[in-house]
Amino acid sequence: MDLANAKAVVTGGASGLGFATAERVIAAGGQVVLFDVNEELGAASVAKLGDRAIFVSTDVSNEDAVKASVQAAKEFMGGITLAVNCAGIATAGRTLGREGTWPAETFNRVIQINLVGSYNVTKEAAAVMQLNEPNAEGERGVVISTASVAAFEGQIGQAAYSASKGGVVGMMLPLAREFAQFGIRVNTIAPGIFMTPMMAGMPEDVQDSLGKQIPFPPRLGRPEEYADTAAFIYGNPVVNGETIRIDGAIRMQPK
């Protein structure tokens, strides 16, 4: 698949990993539709990307909203060939906290946004992709979801987050196998500690401390490095049903 001809939907696209991915697609010559709940930031991000991009306010945990947003993306771009799931929250808390047990409602919200949200966008985007004309390799589209190293080494307080990201990894292979008949590949990227808007709000000494925990390079990952990985996956037809860790060889400790 050629990124220059990509028709991409990027969730969480108004900032961070999602926006870096959108920038990469636009720079290559493709089109992008950003899905995000932050309308102000979404409008500002689209202004930076130019007239080959639009923003659609979307709560990925709402199935009907996703269906409508995917149809809007299809109409704007004349189809969809790439869907990148970057929308997510990292709400954390000890299951047995000082003020009692962690509410199941909060746990469920993390699951709904991170896992069910990724599923909602994946299935609706794939329903559009299956109608594409296949390329010479028989490909019609690519789906990339975002997990985390927490899917494998969740820390204390990350039960909900780790469960959601583990679910993203777990659903990938069955979807890749099911979508193979349509020429749609499904992959997952599992970032380590990256410079996201949430991380940027932390004190510089905290950022430096976290970066030094990474074997090499001893720094936080950069959003453009996530975008590089997404571009590699999109362009390589044999990368399918795979989770790619981009973490500088870090293995997270219990806390």
Distance between CA 229 and CA 118 in Å, rounded? 18
- For residues 236 and 215, the answer to whether their CB atoms sit within 8 Å is no
| Residue labelled with tokens 């909060």 | 106
Q: Say which residues have a Cβ less than 8 Å from residue 95's Cβ, sequence separation at least 6.
A: 101, 102, 159
Distance between CA 53 and CA 24 in Å, rounded? 12
Q: Closest Cα partner for 144 from 185, 114, 177?
A: 185
- For residues 140 and 129, the answer to whether their CB atoms sit within 8 Å is yes
Distance between CA 158 and CA 92 in Å, rounded? 5
Q: Say which residues have a Cβ less than 8 Å from residue 199's Cβ, sequence separation at least 6.
A: 193, 207, 210, 220
Catalytic residue numbers, as ranges: 161
Sign of the C-alpha dihedral computed for residues 215, 221, 226 and 228 taken in this order: negative
How does DSSP assign 142-207, residue by residue? EEEEE--GGGTSPPTT-HHHHHHHHHHHHHHHHHHHHHGGGTEEEEEEEE-SB--HHHHTS-HHHH
